[in-house]
Amino acid sequence: MTITDRPVDNGVDVGALLAARDALSASPDAAAFTWRASCTWQRGTHSHATVSGFAGLGTEHLHRTTYDFDLDHPECFASADLGATPVEYVLVGLVGCLAAGVASVAQHRGIQLRTVTASISGDMNVLGILGADADVRNGFDSILVRFAIDADASREELEALVAQSQKRSAVFDVVTNPTRVVVELD
Amino acid sequence: MTITDRPVDNGVDVGALLAARDALSASPDAAAFTWRASCTWQRGTHSHATVSGFAGLGTEHLHRTTYDFDLDHPECFASADLGATPVEYVLVGLVGCLAAGVASVAQHRGIQLRTVTASISGDMNVLGILGADADVRNGFDSILVRFAIDADASREELEALVAQSQKRSAVFDVVTNPTRVVVELD
C-alpha cells in the first residue's frame, strides 16, 4: 500500500456502519428489514416494476425517489425487448452488491480505490424454462464474476477484498443458497 | 372461463415459443445461453451497470438498446441512495419473471388477462450483512409474492396459472435453489 498524506476516501462512511452495527446488535428488533417492489404487467412478457419504500430500524422509509424498471424478454423469444430480462436483473443485483462490498471493505481496510469494474455472466440452458427437458434446471448453471481493480494495494490485498465482499454480500447469499419463496393469489 | 368470439390475446406468441422448444430440443447446443452485465463502481456504494448483449441460439445478440441501472444503498445506511439496492433488483427480477410466466401460461391455456399486478417483499435481518451475528444469513429470510389477477378464469384456474409460472420461472429457481458463483480478480 502506498503511504500518502491523504486519508483514504472511497465515499463509504465506515464509521456510521460500525456505529449501526453496534446499535443494532443492542436492539436486534431494529435490524429486521423488509425490502419491497411492485409490479404491473403491461402486455406479453413486458412488466413495469417500481421500488419506492422499505421497512427497517423499526419504521418505514422512502427512497429519495421512486425507481422504475421495465422487464421483458428479447426478440429472439418472440418478445418486444422493452426491458432487460428478469435474469439479467439478478446479474445486475449480484455484481452491484459485490461492487458495493468491495468499496466498503476497502474503506474499512484503508485501501484507496481508483477504479473498480466488473463483468458478470450466467450460463443457462433454456431447455429448462421452455419445459423441454425435465432434467435441466430453469435457472443459471453457474455464474462468473470478474473484477478489475485499480487501487493502492497488492494483488493479495485485492484478492482478500473481493473474498470479504462475497462473505458479506446479501445477493451472493441469495444466489448461492436456497431462500423460501411463497407465491400467493390475492 | 367466459366464451367469446374474440381469440385470447395477452401479447405472447405461444406458437413461436412452442416452435422454439421443438427446434432447440432437436439441436440442444443452440439452447446454451449466456446472459451478461457490466458494472462500474462510481463512489461509495453507488455503481452503474449496463446490460446490452447476450449469447444464445449459437450466436451473439444485442438488445434493442442498452439498459442502464444505478445501484446504491439507502440513506439510513449512510449512503447517497442514488439507485435501488442490489437486493431490490433481485425482487424486481423475481416478480417480473413470475409476471411474464403468468402471461405466457395464460396465453397457452386460452385465458384472457385483463390486469395482473403483484407485490413482493423480502424479510432480511441486517445483522448478517453488518457482520454482527454469524448465525444470521446475509440474504433474505423469506420472500412473499402476492398476485392480483383480473382475467376470464376461475379462481382455481388462476391459482394453477400462478403455480405453473413458478414451475417454469428462471429467477424463482435461482432464488429457491443454490447456484455456483465464481468471483475472480482479473
Instruction: Please give the interface size between A and B, counted as residue pairs whose CB atoms are below 8 Å apart.
Output: 474
Chain A, residues 106-135, CB within 8 A of chain B, namely 113, 115-133
What average pLDDT does this structure show over A123-135? 94
**8 A C-beta contact, residue B118 and residue A42:** no
Cβ A116–B40 below 8 Å, yes or no?
A: yes
Per-residue pLDDT at A165: 98
- Distance in angstroms (rounded) separating the CA atoms of residues B44 and B178: 29
pTM of the model: 0.96
Strands across the sheet containing A46-56: A59-71, A46-56, A32-43, B113-125, B142-151, A180-185
Predicted confidence (pLDDT) at residue A170 exceeds the cutoff of 90:
yes
**8 A C-beta contact, residue A169 and residue B138:** yes
What average pLDDT does this structure show over B48-60? 97
Nearest to A35 among B67, B83, B85 (CB): B85
Residue B180 burial (10 A CB sphere; 0-12, 13-18, 19+): exposed
Per-residue pLDDT at B117: 98
Q: Is the ipTM of this complex over 0.90?
A: yes
Is residue A5 very low, low, confident or very high in pLDDT (cuts 50, 70, 90)?
Answer: low
Nearest to A96 among B89, B132, B169 (CB): B89
3-state secondary structure of A62: strand
Per-residue pLDDT at A7: 87
Q: What is the end-to-end Cα distance of chain A in Å, rounded?
A: 56
Cβ A181–B179 below 8 Å, yes or no?
A: no
Per-residue pLDDT at A3: 52
Predicted confidence (pLDDT) at residue B86 exceeds the cutoff of 60:
yes
Predicted confidence (pLDDT) at residue A124 exceeds the cutoff of 90:
yes
Per-residue pLDDT at B3: 52
Cβ B41–A93 below 8 Å, yes or no?
A: no
Alpha carbon B74 to its chain's center: 22
Per-residue pLDDT at B4: 52
Per-residue pLDDT at B28: 87
Cβ B182–A143 below 8 Å, yes or no?
A: yes
Return the closest-CA partner of residue A71 out of B96, B38, B120. Answer: B96
Chain A, residues 141-170, CB within 8 A of chain B, namely 141-149, 155, 158-159, 162-163, 165-166, 168-170
**8 A C-beta contact, residue B143 and residue B121:** yes
B contacts of A78 (beta carbons < 8 Å): 12-13, 16-17, 20
Q: What is the end-to-end Cα distance of chain B in Å, rounded?
A: 56
Residue A141 burial (10 A CB sphere; 0-12, 13-18, 19+): middle
Q: What is the mean pLDDT of chain B?
A: 95
Cβ B119–A37 below 8 Å, yes or no?
A: yes
B86: left (phi over 0), alpha (psi -120 to 50) or beta: alpha
Cβ B92–A71 below 8 Å, yes or no?
A: yes
Predicted confidence (pLDDT) at residue B1 exceeds the cutoff of 80:
no
